[in-house]
Amino acid sequence: MKPKELVTYFCFLWNNKFPKSKPYFPLWGKDGRNAKRLSAQLGPEEVRARMEAFFEDEDDYLYKSGYSFGVFIFRINQYGKQLASVARARSEAIRNRKKLDELPQDTSPRSSQTHQIDFSAALTNLMRPK
């Protein structure tokens, strides 16, 4: 993906976030150089993922300063951490799901009745006057 395509994608995301505003006009020279540098360092798919995370961020600072390409460059490392934590959470959830699936399932009616009786007895004891 060329730097110009990254800047165009940024404009597309901006226009989707603010559909009632005037379209975003990039500073092609400056934004193009930054997009080229980011693409070389992170790869175009990583830059696109961080752009999407940037536009999903509802931080007050972004609303005050504006969702510009310059602010995106300034905060790009934050979105790398955010994406990494999301990926970590997803993989942990998958691991936990596998652990739950590996547990033996007790489907006997007695086990669920026991829990209900224990709960009822505890509730009854709590409601008795002392």
DSSP codes joined into one string, 56-95: H---HHHHHH-S-HHHHHHHHHHHHHHHHHHHHHHHHHHH
> 87 in a domain, yes or no?
yes
> 30 in a domain, yes or no?
yes
Which domain covers residue 81, as residue numbers?
A: 3-103
> 62 in a domain, yes or no?
yes
Which one is predicted more confidently, 51 or 123?
51
**Number of structural domains, the chain?**
1
Residue 114 makes CB contacts below 8 A (sequence gap 6+) with none
> 128 in a domain, yes or no?
no
Rounded alpha-carbon distances, angstroms, from residue 67 to 15, 43, 77, 116: 11, 22, 15, 54
> 86 in a domain, yes or no?
yes
| pLDDT tens sequence across 16-61 | 999 999 999 999 999 999 999 999 999 998 899 899 999 988 889 9
In the predicted model, is pLDDT for residue 116 greater than 60?
no
- Whether the model clears a pTM of 0.75, i.e. scores above it, the answer is no
> 121 in a domain, yes or no?
no
> 16 in a domain, yes or no?
yes
> 108 in a domain, yes or no?
no
